[in-house]
């Protein structure tokens, strides 16, 4: 399931952790969180607190605010399972 929070999309204020957690804990299919990514911490939160299986972001990568290799290194250091 791709869960896009239209309220958070483009705000860079963080993913919708509460609703993502609710869905992730109720469903037996993977949940991809989308909308609101603005910091590396937001990704950590959506995986740890939101129990998301994946997270989607666009503008922070397009505008090079966060580099994908740097994010992967950060998440790995924070003990989030990720392919390097």
pTM of the model: 0.94
Percent of the chain having pLDDT more than 70? 100
Give the per-residue pLDDT at 32. Answer: 99
Fold of 2-77: Rossmann fold (3.40.50)
The sign one gets for the Cα dihedral 8, 12, 18, 19 is: positive
Domain extent listing, the chain? 2-77
Beta strands, E only, 5-42 = 32-34
Give the per-residue pLDDT at 14. Answer: 98
Strand order in the sheet with 54-56: 2-4, 32-34, 54-56
Note whether 53 and 24 are within 8 A (CB).
yes
């Amino acid at each position: 399931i791709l869960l896009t929070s239209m309220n958070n999309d483009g705000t860079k204020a963080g993913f919708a952790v509460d609703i993502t957690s609710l869905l992730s804990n109720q469903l037996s299919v993977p949940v991809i969180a989308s909308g609101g990514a603005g910091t590396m911490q937001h990704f950590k939160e959506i995986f740890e607190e939101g129990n998301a299986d994946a997270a989607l972001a666009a503008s922070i990568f397009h505008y090079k605010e966060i580099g994908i290799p740097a994010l992967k290194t950060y998440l790995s250091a924070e003990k989030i399972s990720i392919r390097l």
